[in-house]
């Protein structure tokens, strides 16, 4: 009986532990910083991998400073957007009011690779500054290897030339 129970439980245990959890960002325009801090801390604490597969703007970029960079990667569709922090518009009658303390808080979370890119691009401003797929983005976050690997189902043929 013990062997039967063990035989039935073993595949379930292996299935549950073998698959790494993944959090995929595809279209995130940001929001309240404290909510993003809590969300990304929970993802970090669960050991999840983060795949940035689209837009990650504003508070979404906090992922880069909360989840270890070795557990984050970007696809060719990824883009990051940075700007000065603002107070919650619901507390300022809908008016955008820059929060210098909030901006300093954001910057304190970013790794050096992000801070360097922001500095090279004129610092944070009220306007969104974006970095898209390519060497500038890869200097911040590694590309997802599976997204850039050649498709094994695709064959390439060379055209023979007559001499």
pLDDT, tens digit, 9 for 90 and up, residues 36-87: 999 999 999 999 999 999 999 999 999 999 999 999 999 999 999 999 999 9
- Identify whether 138 is part of a domain: yes
Q: Which helix (H) or strand (E) segment is 74 a member of?
A: strand 72-74
- The pLDDT > 70 percentage for the chain reads 77
* Domain assignment of residue 52, given as a range: 20-144
Structure confidence at residue 16 (pLDDT): 42
- Identify whether 134 is part of a domain: yes
pLDDT, tens digit, 9 for 90 and up, residues 146-162: 876 555 554 443 333 34
Nearest C-alpha neighbor of 81 from the set 42, 39, 139, 28: 28
Burial category of 94 from C-beta neighbours within 10 Å (exposed 0-12, middle 13-18, buried 19 and up): exposed
- Identify whether 65 is part of a domain: yes
- Identify whether 156 is part of a domain: no
For the chain, what is the domain count?
1
- Identify whether 151 is part of a domain: no
Q: Which helix (H) or strand (E) segment is 80 a member of?
A: strand 79-82
- Identify whether 4 is part of a domain: no
- Identify whether 70 is part of a domain: yes
- The pLDDT > 90 percentage for the chain reads 74
- Identify whether 161 is part of a domain: no
């Amino acid at each position: 009986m013990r062997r039967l129970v063990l035989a039935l439980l073993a595949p379930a245990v292996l299935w549950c532990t073998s698959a790494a959890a993944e959090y995929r960002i595809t279209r995130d325009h940001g929001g309240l910083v404290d909510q993003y801090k809590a969300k990304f801390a929970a993802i970090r604490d669960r050991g999840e991998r983060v795949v940035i597969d689209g837009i990650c703007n504003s508070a979404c970029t906090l992922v880069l400073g909360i989840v270890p960079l070795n557990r984050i990667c970007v696809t060719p569709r990824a883009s990051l957007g940075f700007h000065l922090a603002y107070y919650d518009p619901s507390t300022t009658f809908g008016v955008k009011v820059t929060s210098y303390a909030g901006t300093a808080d954001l910057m304190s979370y970013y790794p050096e690779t992000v801070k360097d890119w922001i500095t090279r691009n004129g610092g944070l401003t009220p306007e969104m500054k974006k970095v898209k797929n390519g060497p500038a983005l890869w200097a911040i976050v590694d590309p997802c290897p599976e997204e850039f690997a050649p498709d094994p189902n695709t064959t390439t043929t060379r055209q023979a030339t007559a001499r």
